[in-house]
């Protein structure tokens, strides 16, 4: 019996089997969780449905986090199927590609800033708000994904770093507010991993190589390692932890080169 046996989890952010959210979903299923998955657009539907089949997941719902209607529809569907929601995983980020390269002073725009913050940071509040009642029923746990660029100026990360800083602050504010409802809110700050979203960052390959060389563990981390920590943080084993940003980066953040 796994440590998530009997837990119901909504996983938002699977695009394919390289996604961090896929690593999380897999490790949660391995620990006994039952899942509902979402897909951002028709283009991704087939791939996410295949993954759902592989993971024995019956509920697959459309969700673009910029749409309040779709957010409501997801929780209406969950509410009619489940008594409560034990786990909400938010593994979503987006910024226009042109803003993830070069000098920030040149690439930043008001529209890009608004979009990056809406999709990558506010959506955590939007989902938690819509799921509040179901999460409260289950003493639920919320988990999001961040990156070191929230705290340090990482080349090319630009507006996404600022959105991640907002996301990490959101984790603390939501945790402070929702503790009274026995809902915990945490983030994993992952080291660089080759995914679809990461491919949008200029020179991502050199970020990966640099991190692998400078990391205490001398290698990059995997989506399974992120998934294991996410599973732990969303389980009763972590019942005393909320408002935290936990690094799964092989120790890179502690080094002088980070
Ligand atoms: N890959 C890395 O190096 C790395 C490191 C640290 C943190 N992260 C974070 O992990 C999270 C997941 O990213 P990933 O690397 O697995 O890439 P990914 O491309 O596999 O996942 C990003 C997901 O965001 C979804 N998304 C984007 N806009 C959306 C919208 N409007 N509505 C709904 N969904 C939307 C995409 O459909 C996709 O499923 C992101 O928050 C990312 O910033 C990634």
- For residue 39, give the ligand 1 atom closest to its CA: 37
Q: How far apart are CA 91 and CA 10, in angstroms?
A: 11
Determine, yes or no, domain membership for 15.
yes
Report CA(182)–ligand 1 centroid distance (Å).
Answer: 27
Q: Which residues are catalytic?
A: 147, 157
In a domain, 111, yes or no: yes
Q: Coil, helix or strand for 183? A: coil
**Residue 119 Cβ < 6 Å to ligand 1:** yes
Q: Is 31 in the pocket of ligand 1 (CB under 6 A)?
A: no
CA-based R_g, the chain, Å: 17
Separation between Cα atoms, residue 253 and residue 210, nearest integer Å: 12
- Return d(Cα 226, Cα 246) in angstroms, integer: 10
Q: Is residue 3 part of a domain?
A: no
Closest CA to 3 of 243, 233, 190, 245: 233
Q: What confidence score (pLDDT) does residue 114 get?
A: 98
Q: How far is the CA of 93 from the centre of ligand 1 (A)?
A: 5
Rounded to the nearest angstrom, the distance between the alpha carbon of 177 and the centre of ligand 1 is 26
Strand pairing class (141-146; 184-190): parallel
Closest ligand 1 atom to residue 41 Cα is 37
Domain assignment present for residue 256? The answer is no
The CATH number of whichever domain residue 220 belongs to comes to 3.40.50.720
Domain extent, residue 222, equals 8-251
For ligand 1, the distance from its centroid to the CA atom of residue 149, given in whole angstroms, is 15
Q: In angstroms, rounded to a whole number, what is the distance separating the alpha carbons of residues 249 and 235?
A: 21
pTM over 0.85: yes
In a domain, 21, yes or no: yes
* Whole-angstrom distance, CA of residue 24 vs CA of residue 154: 25
Instruction: Please spell the DSSP secondary structure of 196-207, one letter per residue.
Output: TTGGGSTTHHHH
Distance 1 CA to ligand 1 centre (A): 30
The answer to whether 164 and 146 are in contact (CB under 8 A) is: yes
Residue 66: per-residue pLDDT: 98
Q: Let me know if residue 1 belongs to a domain.
A: no
Q: At CA 76, angle to CA 74 and CA 78, rounded to 5?
A: 70
| Tally of structural domains, the chain | 1
The residues, any chain, with a CB within 8 Å of residue 50's CB and separated by 6 or more, are none
Assigned domain for 257 exists: no
Ligand 1 atom with the smallest distance to the CA of 119 is 31
Beta bridge partners of 88: 10, 142
Structural domain includes residue 128: yes
Substitution candidate for ligand 1 out of 13, 163, 230 with most atoms within 8 A of CB: 13
**Pocket of ligand 1 contains residue 65 by CB under 6 Å:** yes
Burial class (CB in 10 A: 0-12, 13-18, 19+), 220: buried
| Structural contact between residues 180 and 3, judged by C-beta atoms closer than 8 angstroms | no
Counting atoms of ligand 1 from 1, which one is nearest the CA of 13?
Answer: 39
In our burial notation (b when 16+ CB lie closer than 10 A, e otherwise), range 135-144 reads bbbbebbbbb
> Mean pLDDT per segment of 10 residues, for the chain of length 258 residues?
97 98 98 98 98 97 98 98 98 97 95 98 99 98 98 96 98 98 99 94 90 96 98 98 98 92
- What distance lies between CA 122 and its chain's CA centroid? 13
**Ligand 1, atom 11, residue with closest C-alpha:** 91
Q: Which residues, listed in sequence order, are joined to residue 34 by a DSSP beta bridge?
A: 8
Kindly report the number of other CB atoms within 10 A of residue 161's CB atom: 22
């Amino acid at each position: 019996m796994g440590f998530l046996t009997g837990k119901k989890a909504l996983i938002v952010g699977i695009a394919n089997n390289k996604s961090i959210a896929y690593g999380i979903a897999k490790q949660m299923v391995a620990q006994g969780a039952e899942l509902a998955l979402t897909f951002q657009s028709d283009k991704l539907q087939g791939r996410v449905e295949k993954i759902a089949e592989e993971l024995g997941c019956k509920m697959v719902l459309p969700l673009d986090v910029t749409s309040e209607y779709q957010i409501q529809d997801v929780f209406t569907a969950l509410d009619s199927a489940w008594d409560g929601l034990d786990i909400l995983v938010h593994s979503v980020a987006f910024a226009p590609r042109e803003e993830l390269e070069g000098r920030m002073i040149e690439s930043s725009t008001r529209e890009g800033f608004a979009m990056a913050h809406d999709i990558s940071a506010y959506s955590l509040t939007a989902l938690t708000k819509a799921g509040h009642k179901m999460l409260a029923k289950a003493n639920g746990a919320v988990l999001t994904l961040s990156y070191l660029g929230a705290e340090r100026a990482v080349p090319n990360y630009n507006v996404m770093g600022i959105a991640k800083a907002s996301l990490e602050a959101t984790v603390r504010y939501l945790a402070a507010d929702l503790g009274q409802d026995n809902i915990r809110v945490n983030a994993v700050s992952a080291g660089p991993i080759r995914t679809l979203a990461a491919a949008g960052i200029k020179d991502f390959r050199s970020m990966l190589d640099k991190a692998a060389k400078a990391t205490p563990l001398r290698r990059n981390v995997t989506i399974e390692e992120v998934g294991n920590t996410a599973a732990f943080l969303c389980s009763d084993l972590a019942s005393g932890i909320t408002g935290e940003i936990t690094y799964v980066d092989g120790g890179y953040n502690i080094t002088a080169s980070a």
